[in-house]
A and B are shown apart, each in its own frame.
Chain A
Amino acid sequence: MEERNVEFLEPSLQASKMMRIRVILLAVFLALPFYIFSGEAINISDSPGWESIAPRITVDPNGYIHVVWVERYSEAKGDVFYSRASPDGTGWSDPLKLSSVNTVDAATCSIDADGSGRLYVLWSDSNSVRLRIFSGGKWNSSIQVASGATNYFHTKVAASPDGDIYLVWWTENGRVYSRSRVNGSWESTKQISVSGRRSKVPDIAVGNNVVYACWVEKSGGLYRTVYSKRNRNYNSSWSSVKRVINNDLDHQNPTVELDSNDVAHIVWTTWIEGPRIVHYSYWKGTSFSSPEALSGKRMIHYPSLCERKNNLFACWQVGSYANGIGIYYNMSQNGEWSGEAAVPQSSGSTLSDVAASPDAELAYFVWDSRGEIYFCSLQGESPSPNIPPVAKFSFSPHTGLFPLKVTFNASASYDPDGTIVSYNWDFGDGGSGSGKNIHYIYQTWGSFPITLSVVDNDGAVGTKVSSIEILRLFQPLNIRYESFIDESLFFSRVIIEIYWDRNPKNDEIAEIAFYRIYKKRLGESNAFYRYIGEVNSDVFNFRDKDVEEDDQFVYTVTSVDNAGHESPIVESTGGATHNEKSDKEILK
């Protein structure tokens, strides 16, 4: 139990440290949404009264999904349960109890399928290792494949397509054993670890011609990942134990898979001053490759690995024992790992496993969380994430007097891994448009942000923001007006004189050609200003004769250049109406 505690239980981190880690992981998760999960996690154990732990998953050649796990009735009692589902991850069968010993403990069961769809479930109780085979549409009775030792752990089974099975486990005294059934004949149990070097947490994989086993071996106070291999023939010998990688770091929980070329792929965790990293290495023909980090550096446990059609699927738990932040994964296609990402709704987890559909287009995850077993699938056909398009544009002219027609050109935009399917513009003044090249007329002045959003054929969006300064002419200064009475013998009329001064600010922008005079009735908005006349730029007054006795007008004056640009028609600085005291009535 002391060993088990070392392997499965982690000291709790302080709450503040945990929070930092969660924030980092959340950021990583948000940055890497490369895969699409189908729906929510499914509770497949549905056993509220028991603690469901240590799930293992495999997929048969027809794509059916098979999961086993341990239902723990109490601290030291439990049994192995099984459930299966359709290839789409639905239609889970009611859990079936495969063992009936009441002493199956955590992390001891495993499952694999051969090319005929036969299932092999291996588990251990305190004193034996047992195998149960599903064949011919029914579960056979369990077989005891090992006994006599004290406490068997990490019983793993690997089945070849033709039905040979290879088993591995370790015992409390720190030795790794294997037993195989080749062509229907059982071999004897063999110790494959080196005596005197404490060895534990093995895994095993079978390929076309070779079988690999890996585990950690203690040497010099450190556990290091080692491996041994044999061919598939009956009673073939295991090779001498060798280290996967020579370094002075502590390793834990290696797991191995073989691809169609019998190349071994191994992942494990490396302890680095507290946190761990998931490392990956593969057989290069004469040695294993240098380890490649599949994860960030944090508290990590129990990596799992699945190979399907030369694609690799790895997952692991992040966080403390029985209270993980979540299950994380990384996928490799054609030798390229997609990047670390999280399985949704997987918090509270401890142990997990991963499998893939026969065509490798779906990845399946199982994990335990808060006493239940959960499942979800992942559409992972393309491990390469879509790269968002890059938005670039130019425009001309870069500035000018309003109304200003500006031409925008987004031809420089590009999509590194596809094509741009739409160009959307926001011109910053409330106007918008679409198209690679577009004209737009700014009808007012100001500084406006221009936003180009380009969308690629996968729906990713790239944006670029620039700005444009639209200039205006300035209104003349000191606009004022005064009313007078104009009379003949029989009639009189109101005359309003409008005056203004030259605005020197316009000298820096354009040459003023003339002034336009507008008026509106008192109380009306600026939209009601109407043109009443214009005078040359060297004239600074205008006489409005179209005024009735009771009219009350407000006047304003605009500056206009030779190109027709006009200062905004806005309220003037004020002035009197003819009904006010400034009236000058000549005759009364």
Chain B
Amino acid sequence: MRKTRSHRRKGWLFVFSLAIFIFGFSSSSLAFKRQGTFELSIGNYSLTEPRFEAVYQKGGMIEGIALSVFFIHDFDFFFEMKGFYKSGELTYTKENTHFLLVPVSLGVRYSRPWRFLCPYIGLGIDYIFYMETNPIQSIVNYTRGFHLRGGSYIRIAENVPIWLNIRLKYTTAKTEENDLEIQLGGFEYGAGLVFVF
């Protein structure tokens, strides 16, 4: 456990340093004037729960949509909903088991344009809906968590309302089932196609 916390602390330091670097070198935010964005995203999600890896192997692809609305002076709200599906095998009988995770996130971001980039950093809360079906038992439930995120929009060309987004996100969300405490959070990285309006 001590080793895991040390890793997490280093991760936060890395994200914070990257944010200062991005905002420190940004000169103008005018080139990224916008009212809001709609994004189709794809990425990879890795749960930090060791039981998950024993049953479903490594993490998998996560897909979803995101919507952001400009709020005030480089701050915007965002709403995000994704889906993560994985099939695996029970640990002894190797019978099939299926897992579906649907995180719904609400949060706020701060962004500062710099040249063709617009880095951002944000945080938010999550409602994570999950479902597992297998011969042992099936379950549908949800839990709450929170996350930190960072990334950057990349402007493809002047006056083109379509950007790219690269991002990094860390979520923590614990739930308890059958006297077992399960961590549904994890690291996510990915990219998105952003429509600016």
Contacts and interface: CB of A to CB of B under 8 A. Distances in A.
Contact of B91 (A543, A545, A587): A587
Contact of B51 (A484, A489, A493, A543): A489
Contacts of A493: 136
A195 to B, nearest CB: 125
B49 A489 contact: yes
B177 A543 contact: no
Nearest to A487: B91
B134 interface: yes
Contact of A543 (B52, B93, B97, B132): B93
Contacts of B136: 486-488, 491-493
Contacts of B14: none
Interface in A305-349: none
B137 A491 contact: yes
Interface in A479-498: 484-493, 495
Contact of B97 (A484, A489, A587): A489
Contact of A485 (B49, B92, B178, B180): B92
A193 B42 CA distance: 152
Interface in B119-139: 132, 134-137, 139
A586 interface: yes
A553 to B, nearest CB: 17
A472 B177 CA distance: 50
Interface in B63-117: 90-93, 97, 99
B182 interface: yes
B136 to A, nearest CB: 5
Contact of B55 (A484, A485, A489): A489
A444 B180 CA distance: 50
Interface string B170-184: 000000011010100
A369 B139 CA distance: 104
A485 B90 CA distance: 10
B177 A586 contact: no
Residue of B50, B52, B180, B182 with most partner-chain A CB within 10 A: B180
B91 A586 contact: yes
Given A545-B93, A586-B92, A487 B54 contact: yes
B56 interface: yes
Contacts of B137: 488, 490-491
Nearest to B47: A489
A493 B52 CA distance: 16
A408 B159 CA distance: 107
A493 B97 CA distance: 14
A569 to B, nearest CB: 27
Given A545-B135, A587-B91, A487 B177 contact: no
Contacts of A492: 136, 178, 180
A484 B182 CA distance: 22
Contacts of A489: 49, 51-52, 55-56, 97, 99, 132, 182
A490 B139 contact: yes
A543 B135 CA distance: 14
B93 A488 contact: no
Residue of A484, A489, A586 with most partner-chain B CB within 10 A: A489
B66 to A, nearest CB: 26
B111 to A, nearest CB: 36
A484 B137 CA distance: 17
A235 to B, nearest CB: 127
Contacts of A586: 54, 91-92
Nearest to B92: A486
B49 to A, nearest CB: 7
Contacts, number: 63
A491 B91 CA distance: 11
Given A545-B135, A587-B54, A488 B92 contact: no
Interface string A470-513: 00000000000000111111111101000000000000000000
B90 A488 contact: yes
A487 B90 contact: yes
Interface in B126-177: 132, 134-137, 139, 177
Interface string A525-552: 0000000000000000001010000000
A487 B135 CA distance: 10
Nearest to A484: B92
Interface string B27-60: 0000000000000000000000111101110000
A487 B55 contact: yes
Contacts of A484: 92
A586 B92 CA distance: 8
Contacts of A495: 92-93
Interface string A187-228: 000000000000000000000000000000000000000000
Nearest to B51: A489
Contacts of B56: 489
Contacts of A487: 51, 54-55, 90-92, 136
A485 B54 CA distance: 13
B51 A587 contact: yes
B47 to A, nearest CB: 9
A486 B132 contact: no
Residue of A484, A488, A491, A495 with most partner-chain B CB within 10 A: A488
Contacts of A485: 91-92
Given A491-B177, A491-B178, A545-B135, A486 B55 contact: no
Interface string A444-467: 000000000000000000000000
Given A586-B54, A587-B51, A490 B92 contact: no
Interface of B: 49-52, 54-56, 90-93, 97, 99, 132, 134-137, 139, 177-178, 180, 182
20 contacts: A486-B91, A487-B91, A488-B55, A488-B90, A488-B97, A488-B132, A488-B134, A488-B137, A489-B132, A489-B182, A490-B177, A490-B180, A491-B132, A491-B139, A492-B178, A492-B180, A543-B93, A545-B93, A545-B135, A586-B54
Given A487-B51, A490-B180, 14 more contacts: A485-B91, A486-B91, A486-B92, A486-B93, A487-B90, A488-B97, A488-B137, A489-B51, A489-B99, A490-B182, A491-B132, A492-B178, A586-B54, A586-B92
Closest 5 CB pairs of A and B: A486-B92, A490-B177, A487-B91, A491-B136, A586-B91
